[in-house]
Amino acid sequence: MKQKIKKRILFSLIAATPASLFASEPFNNIQGFYGERAAGLGGAFTAISDDPSGAYYNPAGLGFAYNDGISVSASNFKNAKRSYINIDSPGQVYNQTHEGYNPNFIGILKNFDKWKFGFSIVNTYNYSYDRADQVNYPLVSPTINQTRNYVKEKYSQLLVGPSFAYLLSSKLSFGATLYYFSDTKEISRSQFQQFNDLTYVMRNYVDNRKTTGFMPVIGIQYQPVQKLSFGVSLRRIFVTGGNRLYNEVYTDSARARGTAAVDFIEGTDAGFSSVENGAITQKPKLIGSIPQTTEIRWGVAYFPTSRLLAAFDMIYTSGYKMSRSQDEVSYLGRRATYTVNDREVRELTREATLNFAGGMEYYVMDTFSVRAGFFTNEPNTKPISWTQSAVDLYLQSAFNNQVAATSGDTTLVYKNARSGTDPRNEYSRNRGLSLGVSWVTSKSALSLTYIREVGSGNSRIDPNSLSQSFEYSAHSLYIMVSSRN
């Protein structure tokens, strides 16, 4: 029993450290902005899209681009901070930070009268974390002397593909983009935990995933009058391939020497098994996919004068759920245990979101413009409440969230899903503002845009504790250069 309690405590604290924070892709759907003007307008670009970045927002807008050729190179510096409040004791804050500088958009566009052709590379997100933590004598676990963690994480998504647009008339354009995407997650981690009786446990693991597929984008843009434009675009993720590798070694010094002294857990998207405390378990295979969501953008742009424009977008992103058998079979000598788990693959679950963006652009002079915008970034997770976490902890303590029946050497277990072990364990409603300037000549342009995004909500990164308050804060600087031929 002592060994089981120690392992339960260890995995409780594991959930409160960085590897679980991004273990299932971002918790909000808007990850950045791409292109020269879209960033300054807060992403309200669906009804404009007349530069290479239109391939991402609405390829139909490329039909109204009149330059023979345009190339765009954009880079993004981002500093983000996630704060988890009251983790181990009242007043204790756990901070996770990311700082990186990456190219996030490169595109070209060629004009052939009514036909326009383009090609773009979009780095939608690229997060990396390298962190070491040590917690001594945590108040929530008086039997623990210290916990040490070292974590390296990387998450990225890259889109590459061609675009075309056709000007059906002087007022109407149709366009499409076909992106090939590569989405990766790489985590490596080592942990050490010592108890007050000087026994210890150690855990080391790696978890790597790569998913590939296609994301087509189709759009229509209509300009009924010279001062007004409407745009609609639709995109859908189609996963065509993926692989996953997980490897873990766990040791407990309190165990007797022998085959049960070390646990080995290994799996891929084709199979998953473990040897834990002497028991051999066949687990459900790992997920090598990402959610196959659909996104629809509606936009309107108004041009009251030749120097001023205003734009507004609505962005709807669908939810996603996947169900399959996640039952487990375990053998320990002659004894067999069959565990029935919830069928929902919770790391792929997404809630639908509706976001808004708006922006204005004003040319102070022919070669200098100012842009400002706002946007929302709603969470694609369910709300996390303190009451729900309290009920979950009571059920876990009273019933262990399961029902078991035994006959001879065979045991059947029905295990109810715990809200505290949900990998989608963060809920933050974010808001952002953008401010940019641009210097323009007949052949080139240089733009600088600053974006500030903040949010708050709740999270539950420790499944054996109550939910805690969460705060998000990010600063981004976009540097964009374009040339026209």
Token pair belonging to 83:
């704060």
pLDDT above 80 for 303? yes
Give 433-449 pLDDT, tens digit per residue: 999 999 988 888 899 99
Angle 420-424-428 from CA coordinates, rounded to 5°: 105
CA 296 to chain centre: 19
Checking phi first, is residue 277 left (phi over 0); if not, alpha (psi -120 to 50) or beta? left
Q: What is the reported pLDDT for 255?
A: 83
CA 227 to chain centre: 37
**Tokens 């990766």 — which residue?**
184
Range of lowest pLDDT (17-31, 37-51, 167-181, 391-405): 17-31
- pLDDT-based confidence at residue 25 (cuts at 50, 70, 90): low
Q: What is the reported pLDDT for 69?
A: 66
Domain boundaries defined on the chain = 2-484
CA 391 to chain centre: 28
- pLDDT-based confidence at residue 13 (cuts at 50, 70, 90): very low
Higher-pLDDT residue of 400, 228: 228
Q: Which fold has domain 2-484?
A: Porin (2.40.160)
Residue 37: exposed, middle, or buried by beta-carbon count in 10 A (0-12, 13-18, 19+)?
Answer: buried
Average pLDDT on 237-263 reads 88
Per-residue CA distances from 20 to 95, 152, 392, 460 (Å): 14, 12, 19, 10
Q: Rounded distance, CA 41 to CA 371, Å?
A: 6
**pTM for the whole thing?**
0.89
Maximum mean pLDDT: which of 13-22, 66-75, 448-457: 448-457
- pLDDT-based confidence at residue 8 (cuts at 50, 70, 90): very low
Residue 425: exposed, middle, or buried by beta-carbon count in 10 A (0-12, 13-18, 19+)?
Answer: buried
Q: Rounded distance, CA 152 to CA 84, Å?
A: 19
Token pair belonging to 26:
């971002």
Which letter, b or e, does each residue of 270-287 get, where b requires 16 or more Cβ atoms within 10 Å of its Cβ? eebebebbeeebebbbbb
Token pair belonging to 95:
């901070």
Cβ-contact 479, 448 below 8 angstroms: yes
Higher-pLDDT residue of 184, 17: 184
Q: What is the reported pLDDT for 67?
A: 73
Contacts of 94 (CB under 8 A, 6+ apart): 16, 83, 84, 87, 461
Other beta carbons within 10 Å of 60 = 31
Residue 390: which H helix or E strand, with range? helix 386-399
- In a 13 Å sphere around the CA of 189, the CA atoms on its Cβ side amount to 28
Q: What is the reported pLDDT for 18?
A: 35
Which has the closest alpha carbon to 200: 142, 147, 263? 147
Give 125-184 pLDDT, tens digit per residue: 888 877 777 778 776 677 888 888 888 888 899 999 999 999 999 999 999 999 999 999
Q: What is the reported pLDDT for 68?
A: 62
Average pLDDT over the chain reads 88
Q: Rounded distance, CA 400 to CA 418, Å?
A: 10
Q: Rounded distance, CA 235 to CA 215, Å?
A: 6
pLDDT above 90 for 113? no
Percent pLDDT > 90 in the chain is 62
Q: Are strands 335-340 and 353-365 parallel, antiparallel or unpaired?
A: unpaired
Which has the closest alpha carbon to 65: 52, 56, 74? 52
- pLDDT-based confidence at residue 207 (cuts at 50, 70, 90): very high
- pLDDT-based confidence at residue 92 (cuts at 50, 70, 90): low
- pLDDT-based confidence at residue 9 (cuts at 50, 70, 90): very low
Other beta carbons within 10 Å of 148 = 15
Q: Rounded distance, CA 345 to CA 410, Å?
A: 27
Average pLDDT on 321-335 reads 94
For every residue of 79-116, DSSP letters joined together read EEEEEEESSSSTT-EEEEEEEEEEEEEEEEEEEETTEE
Total residues found in the chain within this entry: 485
DSSP code for 2: H
Cβ-contact 376, 314 below 8 angstroms: no
First and final C-alpha spacing in the chain = 74
Would the CA dihedral through 343, 325, 153, 239 be positive or negative?
negative
Q: Rounded distance, CA 424 to CA 168, Å?
A: 44
Q: Rounded distance, CA 339 to CA 327, Å?
A: 6
Give 48-82 pLDDT, tens digit per residue: 999 999 999 999 999 998 876 677 777 788 888 87
Which has the closest alpha carbon to 147: 129, 134, 163? 134
Residue 262: exposed, middle, or buried by beta-carbon count in 10 A (0-12, 13-18, 19+)?
Answer: middle
Q: What are phi and psi of 156, to 5 degrees?
A: -150, 155
Average pLDDT on 104-123 reads 92
